[in-house]
Amino acid sequence: MNTLNKYLFKQSLIPFLLSVAVITTVLFLQFLIRAVDRFLGKGLDALTIFEYLYLNLAWIIALSVPMSLLISSVMTFGRMAQQNEITALKSAGVNLYNIIKPALWFGAMVAIALCLFNNFILPEMNYNARLLARDIYKKKPELSIEPGYFVDMIPQYTMIVKEMDGKDFKDVKIFSKNQKSEQTTIYANQGSLSSDSNMITIDLQDGEIHEIDLSDYDYYRKIRFKTHQIIISMDDLMLNRTSESNRTDREMRVPQMIQEIEKNKILINQIYDRIENVKKEIGITNPNANTLEIIEDEIELLKEKKANIIKEDRDYNEDVPVSAFENKDYILSLTNNARQFKNEFTLIENYEKTNNKFKVEIHKKFTLALACILFTMVGAPLGILVRNGGMTIASGLSIAFFLVYYILLIWGEQLADRNLINPGLGSWLPNIILFVSGMIILKLSNKKN
């Protein structure tokens, strides 16, 4: 490494370390303000509080490092441009790309370190933070429910809600986890959550309970209710939360998430096999009947076909006895099958959403690391362009770029989680946009200088 590269490398290092310290402190204080209510009135000792805060530093660092690279790059090259160092270097025959190259190498080194951090340290610290939060949780139990996402922490059940307002929720679906012999599905228009030191109670209103024997779909029972109550023992909930298999996507390494994806694919294939077996049993022969809408249409055709056969028999011979009970049982059996098909496709959709969350998280472990290089590529020429703006404009532009990037990242993640776009595209789209922006700004700054 020649003298110039050493100088430029050093110029990138010190502002980066200062930026990391400042941004991490700011984000940490924001988190501390939000987390204070979790500690108040629970009699926690100072060591436990410090441990919880320390474990949550991991995700703060993962967020602050790319942002720090952007800000430090803008400030460093903005100062060099303001003091005419960039002009002097170009006059000496050093082109802009060679001036920025050491900063890019520095960004690459940070990217590799962040990639390792995201894959090995961050998941473990997130997991241990949740386990510690579980112990704090015992002081004042509550159930974390996020609208539109699978809640898998309830023993024996998996739940998803559409809307959540405090402890009240609307449009809830609950599925039994034991699907070897029978399946129970609960639908409710609304519900509420209450808790004490011993148990959590889920109160449901205006709904239905569907129970079916998976070995024979004709054994189907539907119960309508005005109110229904599910009581969860706190001991069972704590045991379920501490299970290693119940790590969330942000608490897993890449191999663990790949393993979970494969498990869910097996479950999805089992559901499709059940669907195919029932289709054969009830006489659906349409090879294109692979979606819920088409299958429901085929069931309606079977009902109409049955009604036409009965009508033709009566027209041909009025004395032919037609059992009303037999016809009613046939229609009821098809109706039960239609309901079960709906339950099965809902399960498939939820498993696919879960897999998408894993895929997005796998991509994020690498996209955020690569963003370090891209932020350097954007920040260096941006600093040269705003050489006279000082720290205020440099910081403002850096924060604006980072906010746009982060909004795009969250937007892509949510679309991918909901199976609206490919998880890879949703995760890498912000980086693609950032790369194109960096190339444009780099050419503009090269022309200006």
Tens digit of each residue's pLDDT, the chain (449 residues) = 578 788 888 888 988 999 999 999 999 999 988 887 666 656 677 888 899 899 999 999 999 999 999 988 988 888 888 888 888 888 888 888 888 999 999 999 999 999 999 999 999 999 998 888 777 765 554 556 777 777 766 777 788 888 887 778 888 888 887 666 678 889 999 998 877 666 778 899 999 998 877 766 667 788 899 999 888 776 655 545 444 447 888 899 999 999 999 999 999 999 999 999 999 988 898 888 999 999 999 998 888 877 666 555 555 555 545 454 456 677 778 888 888 898 899 889 889 988 999 999 999 999 999 999 999 999 999 888 886 555 677 677 788 888 899 999 999 988 887 778 999 999 999 999 999 999 998 888 887 65
Cβ(220)–Cβ(212) below 8 Å = yes
Three-class SS state of 150: coil
Q: Is residue 258 part of a domain?
A: no
Q: Is residue 314 part of a domain?
A: yes
| Structure letter (DSSP) for residue 121 | I
In sequence order, what are the beta bridge partners of 210?
Answer: 185, 222
Q: Is residue 279 part of a domain?
A: yes
Q: Is residue 262 part of a domain?
A: no
Q: Among the three residues 246, 267, 296, which one is the final residue of a domain in this structure?
A: 246
Q: Among the three residues 335, 353, 371, which one is the final residue of a domain in this structure?
A: 353
Three-class SS state of 234: helix
Range of the domain at 328: 275-353
> Distance between CA atoms of 217 and 256, rounded to whole angstroms?
35
Q: Are residues 213 and 285 in the same domain?
A: no
Q: Are residues 129 and 241 in the same domain?
A: no
- The alpha helices in 320-386, defined as continuous H runs, are 324-385
Per the structure, the count of domains in the chain is 3
Residue with tokens 């501490």: 242
The alpha carbon of 249 is separated from its chain's Cα centroid by a whole number of angstroms, namely 7
Q: Are residues 365 and 347 in the same domain?
A: no
Q: Is residue 404 part of a domain?
A: yes
Q: Are residues 126 and 9 in the same domain?
A: yes
Q: Are residues 165 and 223 in the same domain?
A: yes
Q: Are residues 367 and 324 in the same domain?
A: no
pLDDT score for 311 = 55
Q: With left for phi above 0 and alpha for psi between -120 and 50, is residue 50 left, alpha or beta?
A: alpha
> Distance between CA atoms of 332 and 220, rounded to whole angstroms?
10
Q: Is residue 252 part of a domain?
A: no
Q: Among the three residues 246, 266, 298, which one is the final residue of a domain in this structure?
A: 246
Q: Is residue 256 part of a domain?
A: no
Q: Are residues 292 and 333 in the same domain?
A: yes
The alpha carbon of 84 is separated from its chain's Cα centroid by a whole number of angstroms, namely 47
Q: Are residues 346 and 366 in the same domain?
A: no
Task: Give the other-Cβ count within 10 Å of 403's Cβ.
Answer: 11
State residue 323 phi and psi, 5-degree precision.
-75, 115
In angstroms, how far is the first alpha carbon of the chain from the final one? 25
> Distance between CA atoms of 353 and 358, rounded to whole angstroms?
9
Cβ(328)–Cβ(310) below 8 Å = no
Q: Are residues 124 and 28 in the same domain?
A: yes
Q: Are residues 179 and 302 in the same domain?
A: no
Task: Give the other-Cβ count within 10 Å of 367's Cβ.
Answer: 24
Q: Are residues 99 and 165 in the same domain?
A: no
State residue 445 phi and psi, 5-degree precision.
-70, -30
> Distance between CA atoms of 271 and 124, rounded to whole angstroms?
33
Three-class SS state of 14: helix
Q: Is residue 392 part of a domain?
A: yes
> Distance between CA atoms of 14 and 16, rounded to whole angstroms?
5
> Distance between CA atoms of 196 and 175, rounded to whole angstroms?
24
Q: Are residues 13 and 123 in the same domain?
A: yes
pLDDT score for 27 = 92
